[in-house]
Amino acid sequence: FKSIEKERDEPNALEAKLFRAGFYQSSAPLIYTLCRLAAVCVGFLAMYALLSRVLPPHLPGFITFAGSALFGLACIVIPAILLDRFENSQKQIYRRAFPDFMDMMITCADAGMSLEGAVKRVSHEMAATHKWLGIQ
């Protein structure tokens, strides 16, 4: 099914979420995935270093390793939380700029412009004041 989606140039859920969060590059899914992997590795290594110093030496090494692995896997959600925050901040920007967009669209429609021409004109105007909405 992925090949059919890519033939139609339909974005998958991750690409759509990254786009809504303001990451428009085609390499954004790869970078996001690498960030998730890096978060797991850094979380594992940091917890392993901490637990190997804090825990008594008579405990088996498996406990240190297992605790570090669990913490590392828990770190996989950190990039997802950050992505959700970016997406919510973009939504706030869109909500603030949308009334201006609609006012300009109505003005262009009242002036007799076609829908396509009005959208093009308004997007150019919005790019100056509300950059993110103009890009959309």
Q: How far is it, in rounded angstroms, from Cα 66 to Cα 63?
A: 5
- Tell me the residue range of the domain where 12 lies: 1-75
39 and 60 assigned to the same domain: yes
Q: In this predicted structure, what is the pLDDT of residue 31?
A: 94
CA distances from 75 to 35, 53, 79 (A): 11, 21, 8
Q: Does a structural domain hold residue 83?
A: no
Q: How far apart are CA 25 and CA 73, in angstroms?
A: 27
The pLDDT of residue 124:
84
Claim to verify: residue 44 and residue 4 sit in the same structural domain: yes
Query: Is 58 found in the same domain as 107?
Result: no
69 and 92 inside one domain: no
Looking at the fold, whether 1 and 61 belong to one and the same domain comes out as yes
* C-alpha to C-alpha distance for 87 and 92, rounded to whole angstroms: 9
End-to-end CA distance of the chain, in Å? 27
Taking the alpha carbons of 29, 30, 33, 35 in that order, is the dihedral positive or negative?
negative
Q: Are residues 95 and 65 in the same domain?
A: no
What does the pLDDT read at residue 19? 87
Q: Which of 75, 100, 128 is the last residue of a domain?
A: 75
User: Is 66 inside any structural domain?
Assistant: yes
Of 1-5, 10-14, 110-114, 127-131, least confident by mean pLDDT is 1-5
pTM, entire model:
0.72
Total of domains in the chain = 2
